[in-house]
Amino acid sequence: MAPPPTLATAPLAQVAAALRRRTVSPLELLEAYQRRIGPAAELRAFITPPGERARREAQRAQQQLARRQAGALLGVPIAVKDLFATRGLRTTAGSRILRDWVPSKDAGLVTRLRVAGAVIFGKTNLHEFAYGVTTANPWWGVARNPRDVRRSPGGSSGGSAIAVVAGLCAAALGSDTGGSIRIPASLCGCVGLKPTYGLLPLDGVVPLGWSLDHAGPLARTVEDAGILLDALSGGRAWKQAQRVTTRGLRVGILHDSVVKPVQPGVSRLVQEAAAALGRNGLRIRDVRVPEMAWTVVTQLVTLRAEASAAHARWIRARPRAYGPDVRIRLQLGALIAGADYVLAQRMRAKIKDAVRGIFDEIDVLLLPTTPITAPIVGERTVHWRSGAEPVDSALVRLTAPFNLTGVPALSVPYGEVSGLPVGLQLVGRWNDEARVLAVGRLIEALASR
Amino acid sequence: MTERDRLAAATRAAGLRLTAADLEALRPAWKRYLALVEELRAALAPEPSND
């Protein structure tokens, strides 16, 4: 029996339920996604598209389902950012340097996906070594936004967001060092979750910034992101989220220089969402965290130094093996003095204290994920009334604070500006994914009204 | 010593192999970095004390 055509774009929760009911088989599902990958080739979602190996995994899942075996993701095709090691399957990190690397072990999170029964459904495109936010990859192709192919999908997990939005998989795994899950989720129009720092293990993930790196899901719905989070963490955040009473929760709206400038349409949607939450019994209040104005320099120094430490050997021995933008970032990082790194960590501690302080007053912070909608591919500057801002800086301005602080942050699609999706970002206390997901689900419901 | 010379010296000290074109490409990022870090230093400067 052929799967209904809509199943390829259905939420993971529906796909998993259809597999359990055996109204569709893992192989039929796999073929339904695979049929869509060829026509979507110009999006450059995959570095290694799913092949024979994914088919064998689907066949195995089919046998397990026939035996009524359990597994939250049994037979569900999940695409994996090509930064995560996959045993026996090429893992390039979007680079030329690792173009022939075939790991002998799976990354810890890939193992967890397999344990939950998922079919590892190809390796997705990314910004080279995850060090950038456009996925304009010089070695594996310039990724395109499925909502408008002239535009960037964002990055660095651009391929994962494309695969989710274009219906090329049920959900995807990404990583986030300055916004690399949430930015493409926002620009392409899907859900992206960066959990609390340290909640998900990073063994087998090619490192970028050891104190900033996070892993997390990209998915079609908040529920899907929650299901994946629980499968990846072994925890119960999504189960807890379903019991959270959102009425009475305190939602803070950030009013600081860091959230200015923002495209007027994006700003209007934040206000609309806040008003809608208020009508649904949540208490809205304005908050200020002036220390966040120091995010850009703190993130810059921290990430440049840490990434250059991770690439210390290659950037000196093989500088031409990097694309120009990543090469310059790594060379700059190699010049950073230890004393400057220490300064950045002192400021980071102040930002963290300030963020801890606002969570005495509120439960969840609401702000845009990105101040702009998807830029045109190759566009380098955003022109505000107040002056010019590099596109890369604008894209990370509202996401990077939560890599520095390590608090959970979720991007949920909420409306459009000129036909392009807008993501709203919900941020919670450390390890309070449940409330973030609960408010995220409410936002999602309000967006569809 | 010009700013360019200082940058060239810093890259050599860091063990980087840069062509003249590489150095030019790196300069804007280096200048921006120096300006931002200067602001950070000023913000975190120790308070004057009477000790």
Residue A194 bears catalytic tag: no
Judge whether B34 is closer than 8 Å to chain A, CB to CB.
no
The angle at the Cα of A151, spanning A150 to A155, to the nearest 5 degrees, equals 145
Residue of B nearest to A346 (CA): B44
Distance from B42 to chain A by nearest Cα, in Å?
A: 10
Cα A98 to the center of its chain, rounded Å: 22
Parallel, antiparallel or unpaired: strands A119-124 and A136-137:
unpaired
Q: Is A102 in a helix, a strand, or coil?
A: coil
Cα B27 to chain centroid distance, Å, stands at: 9
Residue B47: per-residue pLDDT: 65
Residues B11-25 have a mean pLDDT of 95
> Which DSSP state fits A41?
G
Contact residues on chain A for B11, CB-CB shorter than 8 A? 331, 334-335
Three-class SS state of A425:
strand
Over range B18-38, report the average pLDDT.
95
User: How much of chain A exceeds pLDDT 70, in percent?
Assistant: 99
Q: Which residue of B has its CA nearest to A339?
A: B41
What integer pLDDT is reported at residue A257 of this predicted model? 82
Confidence of residue A313 (pLDDT cuts 50, 70, 90): very high
Contact B8/A at CB under 8 A: no
Cβ atoms of A303 and A404 closer than 8 Å: no
Which one of B22, B24, B39 would you mutate to disrupt binding with A, by most A Cβ within 10 Å of its Cβ?
B22
CB A209 within 8 A of CB A177: yes
Q: Do A297 and B15 touch (CB under 8 A)?
A: no
Nearest residue, CB atoms, B36 vs list A297, A327, A335: A297
d(CA A309, CA A24): 48
**Residue type, position A207, single letter:** P
What contacts A353, CB < 8 A, 6 or more positions away? A291
**Up-side HSE of residue A243: CA atoms within 13 Å toward CB?**
4
| Residue B42: other Cβ atoms inside 10 A | 8
A386 counts as catalytic: no
pLDDT digits (tens, 9 = 90+) for A397-428: 999 999 999 999 999 999 999 999 999 999 99
Q: pLDDT, tens digit, for every residue of A373-400? A: 999 999 999 999 999 999 999 999 999 9
A366-399 burial, b at 16+ Cβ within 10 Å, e below that, comes to bbbbbbbbbbebeeeebeeeeeebebbbbbbbbb
Could you tell me which chain A residue has the CA closest to the CA of B15? A316
Q: What is the mean pLDDT of residues A328-349?
A: 97
Asked whether the predicted pLDDT for residue B48 surpasses 70, the reply is no
- The amino acid that residue A21 corresponds to is R
Placement of tokens 């063990």 in the chain? B15
Secondary-structure percent of chain B, ordered helix, strand, coil, rounded to 5:
70, 0, 30
Please give the DSSP secondary-structure letter assigned to residue A400.
Answer: T
The ipTM (two decimal places) reads 0.93
Around Cβ A53, how many Cβ atoms within 10 Å?
16
Q: How confident is the model at residue A4 (pLDDT cuts 50, 70, 90)?
A: low
Catalytic residue check, A104: no
What digits encode the pLDDT tens for the residues A39-64?
Answer: 999 999 999 999 999 999 999 999 99
Residue closest to A40 by CA, chosen among A181, A153, A133, A191:
A153
User: Dmax of chain A from CA atoms?
Assistant: 65
Distance CA A305, CA A444 (A): 38
Pairing status of strand A420-428 against strand A409-417: antiparallel
